[in-house]
Amino acid sequence: MSKNKRGLRGLAATAAFGVMALGLSACGGGDAGDGGDDTTTVGFVAVGPEGAWREANEQNIQDTFTEEAGYDLKYAPATNLDQKSQIDAFTSFVDEGVDVILLSATESTGWEDSLKRAQEAEIPVILLDRGIEPDDTDLYVTRIAPDNLEVSESVANWAVGAFADGAKYFVLEGPAGVSVVNERNEGWDKVMGGNAAFTKVGAQTANWSTDEAKSVMETALKANKNDIQLVFAQNDEMGLGAVQAVEDAGLKPGEDVRIATIDGTKGALEALAAAQLSFVAEYNPLFGETAMEVVEKVLDGEDVEPYIIVPSETFDSPEAAEAALPERKF
Ligand code: AHR
């Protein structure tokens, strides 16, 4: 019998699972377990290739849950970001009886049935980065991620400070249906929504892509006769696409149009150091250690917070970027 069932049955504490485990321990928990195998099997339902941030995050998880550390990590990246491939991987992990499932959802909706199956199989599920909607915290143990509302609020607060007389702005969004996109809009609108000095001339998805963002921004600049002073790009790759579009329009990024991004990858800090970007809010991808601590606690039946926030910082000048670049790991 795998590690978690022993831990869960033995100790009965985690929030959602606590309830279920209680039920289990209350009924004495059936078969006694093999006590031998201490390797923890982890099914990682991942997003797969999607840019610098994703690569850093998923590599960090793989570099943390190693055999030496007592883990057998089964990495299952989605096929072309397709949710069905994620649900299939999730289902096979449940059927296989892994000890714990880590989930980075490509889509926020459509997870109820899968999560219920994991619960019936007593397999704790930990969300990494992405949330689910509706956010039923009874269906998973915890979510580990930076705080998207706080991160995007920090971008909006910078903009309010940077544009004393306000500005006309455009938002480059991530893919529709992804929780972090909704959360980043919510944080931005919380600050910008009520500020009459700022005018939203448009918002459009560019799917986290530099090329798509470039073409979306080219169209937006043309449609607005270059009368856009601020761009909020929900990730670095899209921000770099906006830089290209602004330059191709004969405008100066950082002067005529100021561009702010979220992620904090090397490429964006280099563009900030070169004054092409004006503000970068980190969305720290390196939370493998935190995830492993949480897995240990959960399998030992300990309680964990329903949302574990990964600290992130911001960069508001070329100097700040230059100072951070030498040690940058992603
Ligand atoms: O979910 C986090 C987002 O996904 C990052 O901000 C983006 O770069 C990634 O692809």
Write down the pLDDT at residue 137.
86
Q: Is the pLDDT of residue 280 over 60?
A: yes
**Total structural domains within the chain:** 2
Residue 37 has pLDDT above 90, yes or no: no
More confident residue, 251 or 17: 251
- In percent, the amount of the chain with pLDDT more than 70 equals 89
Starting at the earlier edge strand, list the strands of the sheet with 71-77: 71-77, 40-46, 100-103, 125-128, 142-145, 307-309
Distance CA 9, CA 31 (A): 11
Quick one: 291 and 253 in the same domain?
no
Q: Looking at the structure, do residues 217 and 241 belong to the same domain, yes or no?
A: yes
Is residue 44 domain-shared with residue 105, that is, in the same domain? Answer: yes
Residue in 130, 150, 208 to alter for ligand 1 test, most ligand atoms within 8 A of Cβ: 208
Question: If you measure from the C-alpha of residue 137 to the centroid of ligand 1, how many angstroms do you get, rounded to a whole number?
Answer: 22
The answer to the question of residue 104 being in a domain is yes
Inside any domain, residue 155:
yes
Residue 157 shares a structural domain with residue 140: no
Q: Do 268 and 294 fall into the same domain?
A: no
- Do residues 20 and 101 both lie within one domain? yes
Percent of the chain exceeding pLDDT 90 equals 86
| Interval 121-153: pLDDT, tens | 999 999 999 999 989 889 999 999 999 999 999
**Any domain includes 138:** yes
Ligand 1 centroid from CA 243, angstroms: 19
- Are 71 and 179 within one domain? no
pLDDT band, very low/low/confident/very high, at 319 (cuts 50, 70, 90): very high
| 20 pLDDT above the threshold of 70 | no
Residue 36 clears pLDDT 80, i.e. is over it: no
Statement: residue 295 has pLDDT above 70: yes
Same domain assignment for residues 187 and 323:
yes
In a domain, 39, yes or no: yes
Burial of 246 (0-12, 13-18, 19+ CB in 10 A): buried
Does residue 70 sit within a domain? yes
Is the same domain home to 115 and 168? no
CATH code of the domain containing 122: 3.40.50.2300
309 assigned to some structural domain: no
Partner residues linked to 307 by β-bridges: 143
- Identify the pLDDT of residue 264: 98
pLDDT of amino acid 226:
98
Q: Is the pLDDT of residue 17 over 60?
A: no
Shared domain for 176 and 323, answered yes or no, is yes
- Length in residues, the chain: 330
Token match 């980075």: residue? 104
Query: What pLDDT digit, counting tens, does each position of 183-197 carry?
Result: 999 999 999 998 999
Residue 12's pLDDT band (boundaries 50, 70, 90)?
A: very low
Q: In whole numbers, what is the pLDDT of the chain averaged over residues?
A: 91
- 187 lies in the same domain as 99: no
Instruction: Ligand 1: list residues with CB < 6 Å.
Output: 50-51, 53-54, 129-130, 180, 208, 235, 262-263, 283
* Residue 20: domain span: 3-145+285-299
Residue 308 lies in a domain: no
| CA 23 / ligand 1 centre spacing (Å) | 38
- Residue 96: CA atoms inside 13 Å, Cβ hemisphere, count? 17
Is 254 in a helix, a strand, or coil?
coil
Higher-scoring residue by pLDDT: 80, 20: 80
Residue 51 predicted with pLDDT over 90:
yes
In angstroms, what is the span from residue 140 Cα to ligand 1's centroid?
21
* 26 and 121 share one domain: yes
Looking at the predicted structure, is the pLDDT value of residue 278 above 60? yes
Helix (H/G/I), strand (E/B), else coil: 104: coil
Q: Does any domain span residue 305?
A: no
Asked if residue 30 has pLDDT above 80, the reply is: no
